[in-house]
A and B are shown apart, each in its own frame.
Chain A
Amino acid sequence: MISRTERVVNYTVLVALAAAVLVPVGYFVLAAVSPDRAGRPALGDLRWENFATAWRSADFSRSMTVSLTITVVVVVVGVLLALLGGYGFGVLGVVGEKALFPVVLLGMMISLEAIIVPLYYQFRPLGLTNSVPGIILIHLGTGVPFGVFWMRAAFRALPRSLFESAELDGAGPLRMLSRVALPLIRPAVYTLVLLSFMWTWNDYFLSLVFLHGDNQTATVALGVFQGKHVTEINLMAAGGLLVAAPVLVLYVFFQRKFIAGMLAGALKE
């Protein structure tokens, strides 16, 4: 329905933007498999072994394990907390809700920077700095507002009559949650899992402040690695791709859900 000129102009602009996104990424990927330490792309000589070399010399086995442990626990426990909280606020009602819910929303607006300083000095005497359980607690606590908000919206989108009839059949609150509601809100749970995985895995600031030495996460280890290998650009790029890989793989497989989920993420500060 649109004119030929307009179509040509549209495609030109879209292709130019796509190139602006892809060229830097492509250059980085080629640098990662380059035989040259300066990372100059060499199409005829792709060194895939750069990935293995980078993996070994950055000791990624250790830091990736730390990142994976943190991420899996935060995703599983965080989604559980969000489900329970969202169900409370969205279906059962919560005593003091009028005061409590705005307080929860506040958590989506204030930034990590506002709490990081006391958090650090409070956690230090408790032995929770430089500890994996410590950082898991922080991820979980800061994730509650968005999780509860997100699951509450999903529960409220379900028809009330559904819960009323289940209640008449004698189902308790927990049973209603697990048997009646959960199967219906699976898409929302799914999105929350993806977002929470991405946010936790990609975190840099919290890990930088709270974890050192053997407890370093992959993102922080990558920063250290690039500091040490400023002259080996190809290995540094290979390491970067390894650290970004888990989320990139998820993106490739779940791209529709990811984009929908990021939209929802518009609400997280």
Chain B
Amino acid sequence: MTATGTRPPAGLPGTPSRPARAGRAGAPRRPSARRRRSRWIGLGFAAPGLLLYGYVVLVPLLQSVQYSFFRWDGVTQAVWVGFDNYTRFLTDPELRSTFGHVLVLVAFFSVLPIALGLLSAALLTRTRLPGMAAFRWIYFLPQVMTSIVIALVFKRIYAPEGPLNEALRAVGLGSLARSWLGDFTWALPALGLIGTWAGFGFCMVLFISGASSIPPELYEAARMDGAGPVREFFAVTLPGLRGQLAVALTLTITGALRTFDLVWITTRGGPGTSTLTPAVALYRAAFQNPQVGQAAAIGVVMALLCLLIALTITRLSEKD
């Protein structure tokens, strides 16, 4: 761990106070001529990155908004349709169903991984026993695996003749065996569990780092008061992790909203539309049977939701 390695969790994504702080640090007093010159040189240093960022991110972002007001198949003349693409997102049953799916996915991509992350972090920080580093290493392993490989692993696990069904048959629960990812009821939860599996190690690392900055005196005080491990967790650890919880919530909820790779490789949104997510709907609308304006509108709504989620959670976590 480097000094810089422990620094970032203090700054939440989208913390509104950050830019303000940055501004203040820039000009302590009236800037001298030399200081002013340095700031122009600074702009020169930052310029290549900023220009590229502007060209690849900011310009398309504005164009996305513009596209979203047109009906366009990507080839012929675009037609102005106002807010039609947005209202369709809310009224078309197939597109609207994606919101419901996202809510289910939030439970699996966010709530469960955070709960498991808290549990494992609490166990790993409370006891300094041999083997703890190995557990941390194992739990974090899914983070470095390519999402497509994770998808393939679980496609295999969930297959009709895969190990999960074989295990069920072996213990006499063969009647429960099914094609998990091909089942209208079970496909979405099955998909969600992949997200839980992949994500809880990340939450754990985040919480371990947060817990290491909780003053040990707080734990001592709690123990003096006769608190057991459970009370200690709720009285000391959990409140101490507020900042890390905010980061974890923001990233996992926006992650659930944006799920693409896992769905695309395992179910393509099916069976039917039972696992369709906004990102998959966007991909289809943009590149399969082009309704470019509709795709842009989905992208804009997703970006706004991500921004809103990040800002709300940050705001809530900073309030005392």
- Enumerate chain A interface residues (CB-CB to B < 8 A): 2, 6-7, 10-11, 13-14, 17-18, 20-22, 24-25, 27-28, 31, 38-39, 81-82, 84-85, 87-89, 91-98, 100-105, 107-111, 113-122, 137-138, 140-142, 144-145, 147-148, 150, 153-154, 156-157, 173, 185, 187-188, 191, 198, 201-202, 204-205, 208-209, 219, 222-223, 226, 233, 236-237, 240-241, 243-244, 247-248, 250-251, 255-256, 258-264, 266-267, 269
Contacts and interface: CB of A to CB of B under 8 A. Distances in A.
A264 B64 CA distance: 29
Nearest to A96: B43
B161 to A, nearest CB: 7
Interface in B233-259: 247-248, 251, 254, 258
Given A101-B19, A110-B306, A262-B143, 14 more contacts: A22-B141, A24-B153, A84-B45, A97-B22, A97-B23, A111-B306, A144-B57, A191-B4, A240-B152, A255-B137, A258-B144, A262-B140, A263-B5, A269-B306
A39 B8 CA distance: 43
B147 A202 contact: yes
B279 interface: yes
Contact of B53 (A28, A104, A226): A104
27 contacts: A6-B229, A17-B116, A20-B197, A21-B141, A22-B141, A25-B145, A39-B156, A84-B46, A92-B39, A92-B41, A97-B39, A98-B23, A108-B13, A111-B254, A113-B260, A113-B303, A115-B299, A157-B7, A173-B45, A188-B5, A191-B4, A202-B146, A259-B136, A260-B1, A263-B206, A263-B209, A269-B13
A212 to B, nearest CB: 11
Interface in B31-46: 35, 38-46
A89 B41 CA distance: 11
A85 to B, nearest CB: 4
Contact of A148 (B35, B49, B264): B49
Contacts of B8: 150, 153, 263-264, 266-267
Specify the main secondary structure of chain B where it touches its partner: helix
Interface stretch (B94-102, B121-129, B169-177, B182-190): B121-129
Contacts of A82: 49
B263 to A, nearest CB: 11
A137 B56 contact: yes
Contacts of A116: 60, 282, 286, 299
Given A93-B39, A153-B4, A263 B13 contact: no
A169 to B, nearest CB: 15
Nearest to A115: B60
B276 interface: no
Contacts of A256: 1
Contacts, number: 330
A147 B120 CA distance: 30
Contact of A111 (B19, B201, B303): B303
Contact of A117 (B126, B139, B299): B299
Nearest to A155: B4
B118 interface: no
A259 B279 contact: no
A247 B42 contact: no
A3 to B, nearest CB: 9
A97 B206 CA distance: 30
Contact of B64 (A24, A118, A251): A118
Interface residues of B, number: 109
A182 to B, nearest CB: 13
A100 B149 CA distance: 38
Contact of B145 (A11, A85, A185, A244): A244
A113 B287 CA distance: 13
B218 interface: no
B38 A92 contact: yes
A204 B146 contact: yes
B261 A140 contact: no
Instruction: Tell me which of A20, A188, A267 has the highest count of chain B C-beta atoms within 10 A of its own C-beta.
Output: A267
Contacts of A264: 4-5, 8
Contacts of B202: 262, 266
Contact of B39 (A95, A204, A267): A95
A198 B140 CA distance: 14
Given A2-B127, A98-B23, A122 B63 contact: yes
A28 B64 CA distance: 40
Contacts of B306: 109-111, 269
A110 to B, nearest CB: 5
Contact of B35 (A93, A96, A191): A93
User: Nearest 8 A-B pairs (CB), nearest first?
Assistant: A141-B56, A92-B42, A114-B303, A88-B46, A187-B2, A118-B63, A260-B5, A88-B45
A157 B4 contact: yes
A243 B149 contact: yes
B185 to A, nearest CB: 22
A247 B141 CA distance: 11
Contact of A110 (B142, B295, B303): B303
Contacts of B63: 118, 122
B302 A107 contact: no
